[in-house]
Chain A
């Protein structure tokens, strides 16, 4: 059974660094073709793909945010992390992690709401 779950600070101040964790089970990120992505969704709006890391450790970033994003994974291949530097109010959103292999996102986490506020 594949499950993913995001965790994060809930609220943070502008200019700080946001650190998110995606903990997953039911699959291994070391399996060829497996990828975990981060996607966010401001309240009432559409979805924005942010970053991904694959089974081989290759990383992919949305160019619009690339300078602020860092994606990584742990050595046991059970967690993926995302850091976003210099957050501002526009980064307020629900953040999801999702799994894909060669196609679409077939499993999603429940999401974690992050509010940027002073």
Chain B
């Protein structure tokens, strides 16, 4: 199985700040990487796919980058509605695997 190591586990930032979440795969996943946002009590929602493509309707302050085994999610100009947990997921190979998640709070 491909292991996904996500960091940090939690993050506290001020409104308007820029935050970055990292995800490392145990082997090359050739950009088969997605980022999801999950608000409390809700199902995950797709933000980014193919490592750097913005899903339909997602605000442009979200962006993804990376290649090989290293990927990141950046949120510019943090808004109050961005409070959520964020997960990375590789879909390069079965079994699909997720990162451990990052809980984002407003300072």
Seen from chain A, the residues whose Cβ lies within 8 Å of a Cβ on chain B are 37, 45-49, 52, 60-64, 96, 100, 103-106, 108-111
Cβ–Cβ < 8 Å partners of A61 in chain B = 95
User: Does the CB pair A106–B46 fall under 8 Å?
Assistant: yes
Known: A100-B91, A106-B55, A108-B43. 10 other contacts (CB 8 A): A45-B101, A47-B98, A96-B43, A103-B91, A105-B44, A105-B89, A106-B49, A108-B45, A110-B43, A111-B43
* Given A47-B89, A104-B89, A106-B55, also A60-B43 (CB < 8 A): no
User: Does the CB pair A46–B46 fall under 8 Å?
Assistant: no
In the complex, A100→B1 CA distance in Å? 20
Cβ–Cβ < 8 Å partners of A108 in chain B = 43-45
* Given A103-B34, A106-B55, also A37-B87 (CB < 8 A): no
Return A102 CB to nearest CB of chain B, in Å. 9
Cβ–Cβ < 8 Å partners of A64 in chain B = 1, 95
- Grouping DSSP codes into helix (H, G, I), strand (E, B) and loop, the A interface class, with mixed when no group exceeds half, is loop
Cβ–Cβ < 8 Å partners of B89 in chain A = 47, 104-105
Cβ–Cβ < 8 Å partners of A103 in chain B = 32, 34, 49-50, 91
User: Does the CB pair A104–B87 fall under 8 Å?
Assistant: no
Whether a CB of chain A sits under 8 angstroms from the CB of B97 is: yes
Q: Which residue of A lies closest to B89 (CB)?
A: A104
